Amino acid sequence: MQQRRVFSGMQPTGEAHLGNYLGALRQWVALQEQAECIFSVVDYHAITVEYDPAELPRRVFDMAVSFLAAGLDPDRCTMFVQSDVPEHTELTWVLNTVAPVGELERMTQYKDKTEGMESIPAGLLNYPILMAADILLYRATHVPVGEDQLQHLELSREVARRWNRQYSGGEPFFPEPQPVMGDAGRIRGLDGQAKMSKSRGNTVGMLDEPEAVWQRVRTAVTDPQRVRRSDPGRPEECNVFALHRYFTPEPELARIDRECRSAGIGCVDCKRMLAEGIAREFAPMRERAAEYRARPERVREILGDGAARCRALARETMQGVRERMGLTAWTEVPAGG
């Protein structure tokens, strides 16, 4: 039986934020103790929308620093930059030959991103195929995903099935990757509505100083029916309280719940405690990030070593792909046909 191998990636948006941490990085840190893990800064995914090429290298570096600051250990997992392994795009083309266009057009994220566009880049349609290639290139057995990525992972499984059936005689050359669901679910932004993201400005930087954390958290939306401090609150409807679950010990969380319902605590106080909890948890990450920023050559070394290992794995996979697809057999055709 194949060893449990985990793959996941994150786009280089610069320093990671609260949503990245709760939705992915926290889980990745735990998984590196349980399985063989490969984590990537997926820069090819980042170029499917308009971006500044001059800023991309800094964003890649900052995301790599965030990986390390969050607790990913290069001795326990492999970290690399996607574009350093050219087989990602090679396998993407191969999988394009079996991926069903109808399924691609039904992707919820594709519909959301292209709404209102007059001219749609093909990269947005093929984005899930690149994601499938990322996973299947390393023949990963498990992928940590949020609810919003389950549809893409199911497409990866379908693509693996189709390729195996057509070129591997039904034998599972590519495993059908299984989802690893975290406990965070869908993380709502500080606005209480949209998904937490840097582009929407509804999050907190993972490496922000305590005062910056407070300035962001103080803008958070709370229970919309609690207009005055004397109004009883509904913690189950409050996004600030939902975030407390990740940063506040259970006894204190229970106290906040009681005092919110009895109007014994105000929303500003609740936000202040959340900001303190976030800043406290992120303190060691800020320290690690500062250490790595002072040694950029170490970050480059980690990513370079990771890319070298991934290139070896990728070459092995692509050799098997080419053999099964008849892309190498032409060398064995005898002279004269």
Active site residues: 113, 195, 198
Compute CA distances 166 → 101, 152, 174, 317, 322, whole Å: 17, 21, 12, 17, 13
Q: How far apart are the first and last CA of the chain?
A: 41
Rounded Cα distance between 246 and 241, Å, is 10
DSSP structure class, residue 196: P
Distances (CA, A) of 323 to 51, 89, 156: 38, 18, 21
Q: Are 186 and 27 in contact (CB under 8 A)?
A: no
CA 139 to chain CA centroid, Å, is 18
Q: How many helices (H) and strands (E) does the chain have?
A: 14, 5
Q: Residue holding tokens 């992120």?
A: 282
DSSP designation for 79: E
